[in-house]
Amino acid sequence: MSSTMHQPAAGNLDLRPGRPPILWVNPGPDPVGWAAHFRNDVRQIVARHGVVMIRGLGVRDHPQTAAVFARLSANGLLPEREAFAPRTPLGNGLYSSTQWPATQQMCLHNELSYLPDPPAFMFFACLIPPAAGGATPVGDASAVLQALPPALVARLEHEGWLLVRNYNDEIGASWAEAFGTSDRGAVEHYCRSQGIEFSWNGDSLSTRQRRRAVVRHPVDGRPCWFNQVAFLNEWTLDPDIREYLVESYGPDGLPFTTRFGNGEPIGEDVVNLINNAYAAHTVSEPWQAGDVMVVDNIRTAHGREPYQGDREVVVGMADAIRLG
């Protein structure tokens, strides 16, 4: 990226390396009006760079943030579906960030890449920045794809990847939380409509869904590493947490893990290769209060750094897209 300052109509665009593009703005007292007026400018920046952090927008609360997100989207905000960990609904399509231990890194991934129609855009806003850490790092999914061994990419392109989930009330989202209903019949209908295999053991639900690991961006056609093969694999977990889960549930009863599309386990060596590729193409910027970040969810993966102190980063998802 260039180190110069560019000046689109919306504000000053800072493209210094090692951080996501930062658009410095001065919206005055009306962030919602600014978002409505400059929506196309913001989306053009994201189309070029895959992500932009808007600094100076100054969002202050949940209703205002949800309204800004809605103005920046094409078709409004989407409900959460098949969450692997709980989020708190905050109203008007706004959610808390994933409830994940503050001391644990969340590795890069594309949001809801195990859906046939994932969100094309992710929105993040910081209402309370943490005392330390807690950034939302991002990485170019096309660059990650190019960094991976061709044989691994070819296998996953051919077979896809398999997400295996065993829902319980102790770890992660329960099946009622994930599917937004306690009606077993409704869950079964949803699973059939989405190509998800399912089985019940009493009130416990297990699911398996095979998805593609590489997709072409729907706008520019570039191939992108689009999945959660590493993020939802057991070998990405903290070793103590993994040991506890294996001892508690057995290797076949883990709350979630990933496999090759033919059902074979994905080992620690493969997971490390993927996470190292992400790390080599990651940039981040510490949050400031009022920041908003817009992410092309197909082209750009995101994660979360460990943090200290209070942190409130809220999330919205928009513009579901069917990846053919």
Per-residue pLDDT reduced to its tens digit, 168-206: 877 778 899 999 999 999 999 999 999 999 999 999 999
Among 110-114, 147-151, 239-243, whose mean pLDDT is lowest? 239-243
pLDDT the model gives residue 168? 84
pLDDT the model gives residue 68? 98
260 forms beta bridges with 161
Task: Give the integer Cα–Cα distance in Å for 14 and 25.
Answer: 11
pTM, entire model: 0.94
**Average pLDDT of every residue of the chain:** 94
Residue 4 has pLDDT above 50, yes or no: no
Of the chain, the percentage scoring pLDDT greater than 70 comes to: 98
**Angstrom distances, CA of residue 138 to CA of 20, 29, 34, 282, 302:** 7, 29, 25, 5, 4
pLDDT the model gives residue 135? 98
**In the Cβ-directed half-sphere of 270, how many Cα atoms lie within 13 Å?**
20
Can you list the domains of the chain with their CATH numbers?
A: 5-140+283-320 (3.60.130.10), 142-278 (3.60.130.10)
What band does 6 get if pLDDT is binned at 50, 70 and 90? low
**Angstrom distances, CA of residue 113 to CA of 48, 177, 179, 236:** 22, 18, 16, 17
SS3 state of residue 166: strand
Which residues, including other chains, have CB under 8 Å from residue 91's CB and lie 6 or more apart?
A: 62, 63, 66
pLDDT the model gives residue 291? 98
What band does 7 get if pLDDT is binned at 50, 70 and 90? low
Residue pair 18/282 in contact (Cβ under 8 Å)? The answer is no
> What would the pLDDT profile of 116-161 be if each residue is shown by its tens digit?
999 999 999 999 999 999 999 999 999 999 999 999 999 999 999 9
